[in-house]
Structure 1
Amino acid sequence: MKTDPPHILCVNPWVHDFAAFDFWARPLGLFTIAAILRQNRVRVSFLDCMNRFHPRKTKHVKVYWDGRGPFDKTRIPLPQELEIHLGDANGNFIRYGALKEWIEQDLLAMDRPDLILVTSVMTYWATGVAETIDLLKKVFPDVPVVLGGIYASLCESHARKCSGADHVITGPAEPILADLVETYTGFTLNQIPDPADLDATPFAALDLQDTMAYAPILTSRGCPFSCEYCASSFLEPRFRRRSPENVFQEIRHWHNHFQVKNFAFYDDALLINPEKYAFPLLERIIDEKLDIFFHTPNAVHIREISAKAADLMFKADFKTIRLGLETADFSSHRHDIKVKQDEFFTAVDHLRTAGFAKDQLGAYLLCGLPDQNLDEVEGSINLVKRLGLTPILAYYTPIPHTAMWADAVKNARFDITAHPALTNNSLFPCVHSQQDLERISQLKKMLK
């Protein structure tokens, strides 16, 4: 048994895409693993290929008031897997993140790690993961690389075959972390948090970043719903929650010690059972008079927006409210509609009465679904605008292990099973006709 703590490198890989922007996007799962490792005396380093604030950057870093901002970008060739199916019609392919030579210099200046842990997010960012691992192997050819995260979990066979990782793990990493570290480094982790008690998990190691423009906050794991287009219930089968006090202490920690002003809730179900969870948290925030702002990029469930919920969110300084509407065709029974028309209207009324302005309120509307009637999308846009909200089109990404995946495969205009990159929502894989693609372009213009 090894007694000296190992050096473990945690890596956030590049993104390869047609479009990307930092909408409060941080690898929270990787930071949580890093925190557990540090709790066990492990020496942890962090390599962020997506670092907007890289120390070698000489240009001014654009940072919006809410912490968001554009990534640096480098034009790269379209991957062969895409070119075979798409030709060069979609050739504007980009590596988002820090320049490759900067990342290579960072690695060359680093002490050799004993183990490298790489995360992954969108399934269709697989080529960015592979490029990152290729560089890691070039600099540290004899160091084992373990890949986890969303792409690894949802596209396991592809990740094992194509990512270049020595080991691919699926699902949450916490239950197997001790075995993983002992297998590859010989070091024993003595403190592994109880997965049933989220309060036992240390705060994510967000301080590993060069600059903390905002802090992601997760008050729960999993989701009580099982939407047919979403893989949340596959990735996290159990719905678990942190106590309001534990969440509050984390928010205060990042604000007091790192001057973080903007916080983004990553929850899929922030307002579920609010009397026990959200309300005590919001009341605590209000009572402490913290000078901070909150955002809900993952959307909140409309049915739970009571007058009290709206009032507390406004007083707690929520600046960005996103509603998971999906469609305003309330006569439809597709896509797991979780809200009725009167519930939607009532929720909007509560939010406006509480004091929220139009530019703070947005409603996500699904677009590009298999066999979707775009008249429904246009009608939804018009209704949302009439109610004084901002409509936001959420373009459909076919995701393996979801109820809609088989339908997407059947209806896609090319073989989306050939490579995860072909599921990219920028390609509208389930939109067949040129007429519908042009119609979607018109719908985009309606949003303005």
Structure 2
Amino acid sequence: MKTDPPHILCINPWIHDFAAFDFWAKPLGLLYIAAILRKKGLKVSFLDCLDRFHPREPREAKVLWDGRGPFRKTEIDPPQGLEHIGQKFSRYGIKPQWFESDLKQIKKPDIIFVTSLMTYWAAGVSETLQAVKKIFPDVPIVLGGIYASLCFEHAQQNTLADLVIKGPAEPRLKKIIKTFTKFELDDHDLSGDLDALPFPALDLQHKITYAPVLTSRGCPFSCEYCASSYLEPRLRRRSPENVFMEIEHWHKNHGVKNFAFYDDALLVSANQYAFPLFEKIISSKMELFFHTPNAVHINAVSKKAARLMFKAGFKTIRLGLETTDFSKTRNHDKKVGDDDFFNAVENLKTAGFKKDQVGAYLLCGLPNQNLDEVQMSMHLVKQAGIQPVLAYYTPIPHTAMWETAVNNSKFNLIEHPVFTNNTLFPCVISTIDLNRISQLKNQKI
């Protein structure tokens, strides 16, 4: 019986897409798993196929002031069924030969954990697993993450994973480790208390230009285009003290200044969670910059919230608006009223935020969507004095809108996740509407 702690290799796969950019995008779930296993005494290695700072990069990676930057891009053949789409398709990330060399230099692992993000990046996951199996054909691969959870059967049938898992991996770690290695993992602190988890292993990266932060998992809302409530059925919170300790850790020990909140519910129950956190950050007098790429709920942007966010160092604010059709008969998102939106914008302006710091997400490309509403929403957002940010609709399995999307798409969305890519506008049938969306994208309205 094997008694030595096993060696676990964690891998972030390539992206296959028409376009990709590091908009504060890190495999946070996988880095949590790496941190947990490392804390429990297992040997952990990490390879990032999206590594912008790979040692073999011939030129210094471009880093914007907020830590973001472009990925290496290599044009590849488009997937079957998209050969005539007229757009270039690429692999984003390090060269395959670099990845193969990195794999060969690592001591043979006992288990390989691979994550997956966007569902339509499935082909990049598949290529990654093929490359891994070429070097380690008999090492079990465990595939998790968003694609694996939302397209479970597809991942089982179309990747070389030995095990595909749905949802959070922490509760299953003990069983997975024992099944493949016979090693007994102590899982007493993996019952669901987020404060009991170690900070994610961001230090396994070659360079940390920003840190993603989760103060909670889950969302109290169930918007019909979003899968958050499926992936995380209940809202779980971390204490403000624990989150502050993490931010302080990355800043003081690794010099990190930029932080991106991955929360779906950052300002929900703000008096108990967000406000105490912001106050701690303000009192610390650390020079920090915060970003909310996942958006904050508009009706939670009170005067106090705006004031504290400004003082704490928030620099990029995204509001989850979706539409400015505030009528009671509107479809889709119903959690925002017109007073909520205008009050939130006024509160942010009064607090000191500038126009270029605040944007409102507007959904575009929905099934049977009236683009007049999108155009009017863009005008209204501009008139309010902030930026409209078009969020192109991606059909997602296990959402309330999925069946409607399947029935109103020009592609067979069930055949392969690649057809759900929002770049394709899969639910926009009319050429006239496609041309109009192009005009909206260019602000020619």
Distance 2:135 2:444 in 1: 46
Letter of the 1:403 partner, please give it: A
Letter of the 1:35 partner, please give it: A
CA contact 1:36–1:192 (8 Å) conserved in 2? no
- The residue that corresponds to 2:29 in the other structure is 29
Distance 2:271 2:225 in 1: 29
- The residue correspondences of 1:2-401 to structure 2 (distance < 5 A) are 2-80=2-80, 83=81, 86-331=82-327, 332-401=329-398
Residues 194, 106 of structure 1: CA spacing in aligned structure 2 closer, same or farther, 3 A cutoff?
A: closer
- The residue that corresponds to 1:446 in the other structure is 443
**Per-residue deviation, residues 14-62 of structure 1 (Å, max 9, x unmatched):** 0000011000000000000111101110000001000001111011210
- The residue that corresponds to 2:431 in the other structure is 434
- The residue that corresponds to 1:415 in the other structure is 412
Indicate the percent of aligned positions where both proteins have the same amino acid: 65
Letter of the 1:372 partner, please give it: Q
TM-score (norm. length: structure 2): 0.98
Structure 2: runs of 5 or more not aligned: none
Distance 2:37 2:199 in 1: 12
Letter of the 2:79 partner, please give it: P
Letter of the 1:384 partner, please give it: V
TM-score (norm. length: structure 1): 0.98
| Residue 336 (structure 1) shift | 2.4
Count of residues in Structure 1 that have an aligned counterpart in Structure 2: 444
Distance 2:160 2:86 in 1: 26
| Residue 333 (structure 1) shift | 2.4
Letter of the 1:12 partner, please give it: N
CA contact 1:2–1:188 (8 Å) conserved in 2? no
**Per-residue deviation, residues 311-345 of structure 1 (Å, max 9, x unmatched):** 00000010000000000111252112211101110
Aligned to 1:141, the other structure's residue is in SS state: coil
Letter of the 2:249 partner, please give it: H
Aligned to 2:208, the other structure's residue is in SS state: coil
Aligned to 1:323, the other structure's residue is in SS state: strand
Distance 1:87 1:18 in 2: 12
CA contact 1:24–1:264 (8 Å) conserved in 2? yes
Letter of the 1:179 partner, please give it: K
Aligned to 2:442, the other structure's residue is in SS state: helix
Distance 1:279 1:152 in 2: 35
CA contact 1:198–1:241 (8 Å) conserved in 2? yes
Q: 1:402 aligns with which of 396, 399, 406?
A: 399
Residues 447, 200 of structure 1: CA spacing in aligned structure 2 closer, same or farther, 3 A cutoff?
A: farther
RMSD: 1.1
CA contact 2:170–2:190 (8 Å) conserved in 1? no
Distance 2:415 2:179 in 1: 33
